[in-house]
Amino acid sequence: MATPPLNARSRRITAGDSRAPNRAMLRAVGFSDEDFDKPIVGVASTWSEITPCNAHIDVLARRAKLGVESNGGKAQIFGTITVSDGISMGTEGMKYSLVSREVIADSIEVVSNAQAFDGLVAVGGCDKNMPGCMIAIGRLDIPSVFVYGGTILPGAHQERKLDIVSVFESVGQVCAGKISKEVFHAIEAHACPGAGSCGGMYTANTMSTAIEALGMSLPNSASHPAVGAAKGDDCEAAGRAVLALIERGITPRRIMTPRAFENAITVVMALGGSTNAVLHLIAMAKALEVPLSLDDFDRLSKRVPHLADLKPSGQYVMADLSEIGGTAAVMRMLLDEGLLHGDCLTVTGKTLAENLADFEPIAKGNPIIRRPADPLRASGPLVILKGNLAPEGAVAKVSGLEHPSITGPARIFDSEEDCLAAILAKRIKAGDVVVIRYEGPRGGPGMREMLAPTAALVGEGLGESVGLITDGRFSGGTHGLVVGHVCPEAQVGGPLAALREGDIITIDADRQELSVKLPDEEIAQRLAAWTPPPMRYRGVLRKYARQVVSASEGAVTDY
């Protein structure tokens, strides 16, 4: 049986007399006669001047192209969108953040199939870039490598390390009179020193490590900072790697198996990653038709200890971890402890165990990563809650909490803006349970992240004495006694819609409970008299709201 040519897919548009017009167009963008016989690799670039997360990705995309073309392939760089969560946070613009994940996935799929690429390298920075790229990679199932644009270096003021969450929390601090206006301005001015994604174990760094653990990024590339030689080298190596994948016929569905997703969840739990990992990994799995649910996160949370003293609940950032060995060193330790499946295939063409054999395990006694025998928490910090307020589940992050439970009166808000105004006006008191509803995938629409209210609570010193629940999401920078992704959401008649001011709510992470002290009959009667708020948006938000499924199903639009 003849081996198919390496450009078997792109030959649809480059081979034969009938494709002379196609070739003529390609000649105009730099193709020669020889290039038509090479595998064509798309390089999906999320470059944008909008955000520091992506401001350097044009340079990285060109390095990936060099890696392809210096190793016998032909590369074409194309663009897709990004929006900045950090800039749009707390505004109407944040409604477009999760929507952008779907647009990114759709656009990469459209270009890659229309141009019949033989392989793909995707380079992403800001939060939604990564799952967006990976959803497209799962749908396409052509040889592919993902490259993370890299973490930002920490800022500094008066010997204090800063990041973007420092600024969000300073809003509450200045409002409470805990810092001066001068210090407030200095924190803002020094928090973000240059290119790269938010520095702690927030959503960008969470997803980069998850994708490396899945086997879809090159070893240790998740922890390399955005600035410096290592990140450019990652991109050039990805260009070489994708050609090897094409030659061997290794596609994403051979790599992203159920066991590989377990590896990703394990690393997220150990490092104390963002609650958004739950949403995004389920969405990525759906693109591959891999079964993954909240129950899998619950099962692995009980098995995997929390080991990393990383922000938001800890002290350190990803750049600090990179200096002591990075993500590969952490994974080598987890593998040696029997917590990872070492037989999973990766984009190197080797197994995870074979890749990690080249790395030393993270050194004992380092200040950032504990050993499993001496964890920060014996189980994972992402906890799945259920109860009469969340019959389909909700997600809490309990890292750093001394008392992960509260029972108190509901303070009801139908938008993030109303809640933030109440916090800054000092109308929220210790013992309250704040409810922000109609912020789910359909209700928002777009499932905004509630970083502004949660950071304000922390800044005012109420991070553990006030509970907060929402059908929206949280930034990876959020910490405190908070529960998100409450399903079903209020907009579709979930129990949150029945709540009234003063109802007694219990959040108990140890018992995995989210409930209101009301009989089922009372909740049903209230919902029978309820009508959903009307849709206020047109265009992409209206389309999204009509198509999106529950957060417990990944909030995808093609399921």
pLDDT in tens, 375-399: 999 999 999 999 999 999 999 999 8
CA dist 37 to 11, 125, 129, 154, 251, Å?
8, 32, 31, 46, 21
Which pLDDT does position 300 carry in this prediction? 98
**Cα–Cα distance measured from residue 236 to residue 343, given in angstroms and rounded to the nearest whole number:** 26
The HSE-up count of residue 545 (CA atoms within 13 Å, CB side) is 23
Tell if the pTM clears 0.75, that is, is over it: yes
- pLDDT per residue as tens digits for the range 494-507: 999 999 999 999 99
With a cut of 70, say whether residue 1 has pLDDT above it: no
| Placement of tokens 């849709």 in the chain | 535
Q: Within 10 A of 95 (CB to CB), how many other CB atoms are there? A: 22
The predicted pLDDT at position 86 comes to 87
Q: Is the pLDDT of residue 290 over 80?
A: yes
Beta bridge partners, 351, equal 345
CB atoms within 10 A of CB 345: 18
- Average pLDDT on 546-552 reads 97
What is the per-residue pLDDT across 317-346, written as a single tens digit (0 to 9) for each?
999 999 999 999 999 999 999 999 999 999
Q: How far is CA 525 from CA 270, 520, 531, in A?
A: 43, 9, 12
CB atoms within 10 A of CB 529: 7
Distance CA 389, CA 495 (A): 5
Helix (H) or strand (E) holding 413: strand 405-413
Cβ atoms of 147 and 60 within 8 Å: the answer is: yes
Structure confidence at residue 186 (pLDDT) = 94
Measured between alpha carbons, how far is residue 232 from residues 57, 65, 181, 225, 383 in Å? 10, 11, 39, 10, 36
CA distances from 57 to 47, 102, 181, 203, 317 (A): 5, 20, 35, 18, 21
Judge whether 43 and 76 are in contact, CB under 8 Å: yes
Q: Is the peptide bond before 445 cis (omega within 30 degrees of 0)?
A: yes
Q: Which residues are catalytic?
A: 475
- Average pLDDT of span 7-27: 97
